[in-house]
Amino acid sequence: MASDRLVTSQHVLKAVMELDRRGSTKTLADLEKLEPDLIEYLLENLTRLHHRLTRLGLSGADVRKIYRRAEATAVVCIMTMRKAHHDLWRRDHDEIDLPSPDDLPPPSPAAP
């Protein structure tokens, strides 16, 4: 299957390292400002996962480990795609000085 190679292993590694350095709480809070609907969806489903694992009878420690792994995987994927998409735009629009995807201000609320 053909791939556009938008995401590279370097993107993934940088996202993993940034998540490890900043922690999930800070990273999720920052992502929520930039992608509120996506992060809301993620958090709702992680909560469902947590409840389901608890109902299955896993120990609290096992539930937390699985939850943290799922959370980290999803957050790294979101961070990686944001950065890769930003890099693609920079590559295709050299003449435009684009801010880093993490430097963008949060979107203004929709008008009522």
Counted residue by residue, the chain has a size of 112
pLDDT of residue 111: 47
d(CA 100, CA 102): 5
Q: What is the pLDDT of residues 6-47, one digit of tens each?
A: 888 999 999 999 999 999 999 999 999 999 999 999 999 999
Helix and strand numbers (H, E) in the chain are 4, 0
DSSP string, 20-55: HHH-HHHHHHHHHHH-HHHHHHHHHHHHHHHHHHHH
Mean pLDDT of 55-60: 96
pLDDT in tens, 71-86: 999 999 999 999 988 8
